[in-house]
């Protein structure tokens, strides 16, 4: 992974907007205050919000200042926190002393050859050593907190209006300072990334988003290279370590390169949280059919997002076309897609998964994955589901299931069986299947209210329904496991040719539910689903006898011929398949759910079509032209 991050950094350094220079990167907060100063004049403080990369190495243990830009606790010795509490004045004084120590080191540096910069720095040191000036700055910055970022800007001479930390000589000095802080004393060796003999790092020079260490090697049991935790245990040079961490920070911050996959609602610091960062080795122009398309991350990212909409359909259509490089010298196998999944917290950045796959293989794997998860929605319209959509079903569960799901989508692995267990368990919950009130009319009898008890029950049901994932997502997860690698384009909608007894039993239950709804004009207290889905989906032979008697005596005689014929056809196919099974396996329970879902969606699609035809007849007055 580090090797590919270094290669990415070298490409980004060739002029990519937003990529930080060596030793710089993007902390989470902008620069909020700029101190403008001129010799012999009062200092002016400007409140602002500037998002710029800046020198910062992170602080894991003990105070450590950044050069010429830092939080107010360091730059100004300010003690009030964001919660309005006064921090220790002794500690803030210690922080400010570190800031001034680094500033004086810069003044004494042999490489400080710019006389104008030296003059400006001498003036700034004099100001920041004067407690009266510091008090004036703090008083002028209304609302400042100890965590606010502060920068310094001279208002005279050649450097007028420039942030001092961004001066070329300040950058050079800062890189040397970072090396002093991060290199292992006297340890040289072959860098594991570039292969050159260089001084090796004791720790990586930067942190992700300014607060998250990329590695934590504080015990001798963890290091490599047979070195102690104080040695060069990561085995890479400063240049490679800097490039890798800046590249990762860029991916972490750039909206087109990251996606939160699972978020623990109770803690931002939990290792359950999982974020993916991803990138292409390079964008590639392809001939797709008669057109030329550039494949980049904006095309591929919808696979990971939630509710990606039309963008996922566009990718799916593109994947079904033949891909041919527009430049004959380019081979798809030479390009690659990279994805890493991390769990960040305050102490370390845990790598959960690393995926590297060629563009040629990626195309085929994604096509098969999207084929397998495509299914009609509850009203019969074909729908695609992204990995993010399927994660709604997992509900921040086992992180291993997520990793295996990513391997299915990007590497072509078989889907994890745990997905079938999760989806079938959810489908056994009758609340998942309760029809939408707009479709069913009134799902509850308004005349059958038992006052407070009934209200409380409906409130509990409503809360439970909100906790459940969307029904189509659950069914798509089950379908993925059932069909992947077995003809992935099957079972998108109602399959009239399917002879599986379990699938047919699911269809039969949906037909009987439809008969009940039609007979009651779509106004019932409890449908067959709420009462019998769990039993019917696990033990059909013991359940369907009574349901068939009830349907044939109470519901079907009142209805038209079409529903009776459909029920007879399905029952005939069940007889031909060997009759009602006594017990259904986990896979068969998933097939049952698919059959029920497909048949119900087909009924709803017919009702929708009839309603639209009726509305058109009303608009035209029932006259055909």
Structure tokens at 373: 């998860």
pLDDT bucket at 360, cuts 50 / 70 / 90 = confident
Confidence of residue 288 (pLDDT cuts 50, 70, 90): low
Give me 108's structure tokens.
């004494």
Q: In whole angstroms, give the CA distance from residue 149 to residue 528.
A: 62
Residues in the chain: 625
Please write the tens of the pLDDT for every residue from 40-95.
Answer: 899 999 999 998 888 876 665 678 899 999 999 999 998 876 554 545 577 888 99
> In this predicted model, what pLDDT tens digit does every residue of 417-462 receive, in sequence order?
899 999 999 999 988 887 444 444 334 433 444 444 555 555 555 5
Taking Cα atoms as reference points, which of 512, 510, 599, 507 lies closest to residue 552? 512
For residue 343, what are the contacts with CB-CB under 8 A and spacing of at least 6? 270, 271, 272, 273, 274, 275, 349, 350, 352, 399
Mean of all residue pLDDT scores within the chain: 81
Q: Look at residue 442 in the predicted model and tell me its pLDDT.
A: 38
pLDDT value at 35 more than 70: yes
What pLDDT, on a 0 to 100 scale, did the predictor assign at position 266? 76
Measured CA to CA, the distance from residue 483 to residue 205 in angstroms comes to 48
Tokens of 519: 């007979």
> Does residue 284 carry a pLDDT above 90?
no
Q: List 355's β-bridge partners, or say none.
A: 339
8 Å CB contact between 231 and 187:
yes
pLDDT at 562 over 70: yes
Q: Does residue 484 contact residue 368 with C-beta atoms inside 8 Å?
A: yes
Best-predicted range by mean pLDDT (177-181, 397-401, 433-437): 177-181
Mean pLDDT of 297-320: 73
Tokens of 180: 């002093």
Tokens at 359, concatenated: 């563009």
Query: CA 350 to CA 344: how far, in whole Å?
Result: 6
Helix (H) or strand (E) holding 351: strand 349-358
Specify which residues 431 forms β-bridges with. Answer: none
Handedness of CA 426, 429, 433, 434 (dihedral sign): negative
Beta bridge pairs of residue 284: 295
pLDDT recorded at residue 307:
67
CA–CA separation, 595 and 580 (whole Å): 14
Residue 587 has pLDDT above 90, yes or no: yes
What angle (nearest 5°) sits at the alpha carbon of residue 28, between those of residues 166 and 65?
A: 55
| pLDDT reported for residue 325 | 47
Top mean-pLDDT range of 263-267, 292-296, 369-373 = 369-373
Cβ neighbours for 359, distance < 8 A, ≥ 6 positions apart:
280, 284, 295, 323, 332, 333, 335, 336, 337
Task: Assess contact for 47 and 228: CB atoms under 8 A.
Answer: no
Q: What is the pLDDT confidence band of residue 576, given thresholds at 50, 70 and 90?
A: very high
For the segment 350-360, the average pLDDT, to the nearest whole number, is 87
Residue 444's pLDDT is what?
Answer: 40
Query: Could you give the angle at the alpha carbon of 292 between the alpha carbons of 288 and 298, nearest 5°?
Result: 90
What separation in angstroms does the CA of 59 have from each of 56, 213, 333, 510?
Answer: 9, 9, 42, 61
Overall average pLDDT of the 103-131 stretch: 95
Roughly what angle, to the nearest 10 degrees, separates helices 586-620 and 501-519? 40
CA 51 to chain centre: 23
Q: Are 337 and 364 in contact (CB under 8 A)?
A: no
Range with the largest mean pLDDT of 232-236, 336-340, 344-348, 577-581: 577-581
Q: Which of 172, 76, 82 is nearest to 129 (CA)?
A: 76
Given a cut of 60, whether residue 476 has pLDDT beyond it is: yes
Cα angle vertex 196, ends 190, 197, to 5°?
A: 55
Specify the pLDDT at position 362.
87
* Identity of the highest mean pLDDT range in 70-84, 203-217, 369-383: 369-383
- Among 371, 365, 409, residue whose Cα is nearest residue 391: 409
Instruction: Say how far apart CA 299 and CA 49 lie, in whole Å.
Output: 32
Percent of the chain's residues with pLDDT above 70? 78
Q: Got the DSSP string for 198-233?
A: EEEESS-S--BTTTB-S----STTS-STT--TTS-T
SS3 label, residue 275: strand
* DSSP-based three-state secondary structure for 198: strand
Instruction: Give the least confident one: 331-345, 400-414, 559-573.
Output: 331-345
């Amino acid at each position: 992974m580090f090797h590919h991050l270094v290669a990415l950094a070298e490409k980004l350094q060739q002029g990519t907007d937003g990529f930080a220079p060596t030793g710089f990167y993007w902390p989470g907060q902008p620069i909020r205050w700029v101190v403008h100063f001129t010799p012999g004049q009062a200092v002016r403080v400007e409140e602002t919000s500037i998002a710029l990369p800046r020198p910062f190495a992170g602080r894991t243990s003990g105070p450590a200042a950044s050069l010429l830009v830092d939080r107010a606790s360091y730059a100004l010795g300010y003690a009030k926190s964001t919660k309005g509490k006064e921090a220790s004045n002794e500690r803030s004084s210690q922080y400010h002393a570190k800031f001034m120590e680094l500033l004086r080191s810069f003044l004494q540096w042999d490489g400080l050859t710019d006389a104008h910069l030296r003059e400006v720095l001498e003036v700034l040191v004099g100001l920041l050593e004067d407690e009266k000036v510091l008090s004036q700055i703090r008083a002028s910055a209304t609302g400042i907190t100890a965590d606010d970022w502060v920068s310094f800007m001279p208002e005279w001479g050649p450097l007028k209006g420039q942030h001092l930390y961004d001066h070329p000589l300040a950058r050079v000095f800062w890189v040397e300072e970072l090396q002093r802080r991060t290199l292992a004393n006297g340890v040289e060796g072959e860098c594991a990334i570039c292969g050159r003999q260089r001084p090796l790092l004791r720790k990586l020079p930067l942190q992700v988003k300014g607060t998250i260490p990329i590695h934590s090697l504080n015990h001798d049991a963890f290091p490599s290279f047979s070195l102690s935790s104080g040695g060069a245990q990561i085995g890479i040079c400063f240049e490679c370590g800097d490039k890798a961490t800046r590249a990762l920070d860029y991916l972490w911050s750039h909206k087109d390169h990251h996606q939160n996959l699972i978020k623990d609602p109770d803690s931002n610091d939990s290792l359950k949280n999982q974020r993916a960062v991803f990138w292409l080795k390079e964008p590639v122009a392809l001939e797709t059919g008669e057109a030329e398309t550039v494949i980049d991350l904006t095309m591929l990212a919808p696979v990971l997002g939630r509710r990606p909409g039309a963008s996922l359909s566009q990718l799916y259509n593109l994947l079904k076309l033949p891909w041919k490089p527009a430049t004959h010298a380019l081979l798809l196998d030479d390009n690659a897609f990279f994805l890493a999944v991390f769990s960040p917290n305050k102490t370390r950045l845990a790598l959960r998964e690393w995926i590297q796959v060629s563009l040629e293989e990626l195309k085929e794997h994604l096509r098969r994955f999207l084929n397998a998860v495509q299914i009609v929605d509850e009203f019969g319209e074909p729908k695609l589901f992204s990995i993010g959509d399927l994660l709604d079903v997992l509900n921040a569960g086992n992180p291993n299931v997520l990793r295996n799901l990513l391997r299915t989508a990007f590497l072509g692995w078989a889907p994890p069986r745990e997905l079938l267990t999760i989806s079938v368990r959810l489908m056994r919950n009758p609340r998942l299947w309760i029809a939408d009130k707009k479709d069913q009319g009134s799902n509850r009898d308004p005349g059958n209210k038992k006052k407070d008890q009934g209200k409380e029950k409906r409130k509990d049901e409503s809360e439970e329904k909100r906790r459940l994932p969307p029904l189509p997502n659950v069914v798509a997860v089950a379908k993925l496991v059932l069909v992947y690698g077995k003809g992935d384009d099957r079972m998108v909608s109602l399959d009239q040719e399917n002879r599986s007894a379990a699938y047919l039993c699911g269809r039969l239950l949906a037909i009987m539910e439809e008969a009940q709804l039609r007979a009651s004009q779509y106004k019932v207290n409890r449908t067959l689903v709420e009462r019998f889905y769990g039993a019917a989906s696990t033990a059909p032979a013991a359940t369907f006898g009574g349901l068939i008697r009830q349907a044939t005596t109470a519901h079907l005689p009142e209805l038209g011929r079409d529903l009776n014929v459909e029920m007879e056809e399905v029952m005939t196919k069940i007889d031909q398949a060997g009759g009602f099974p006594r017990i259904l396996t986990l896979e068969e329970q998933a097939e049952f759910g698919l059959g029920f879902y497909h048949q119900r969606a087909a009924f709803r699609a017919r009702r929708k079509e009839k309603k639209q035809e009726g509305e058109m007849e009303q608009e035209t007055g029932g006259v055909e032209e």
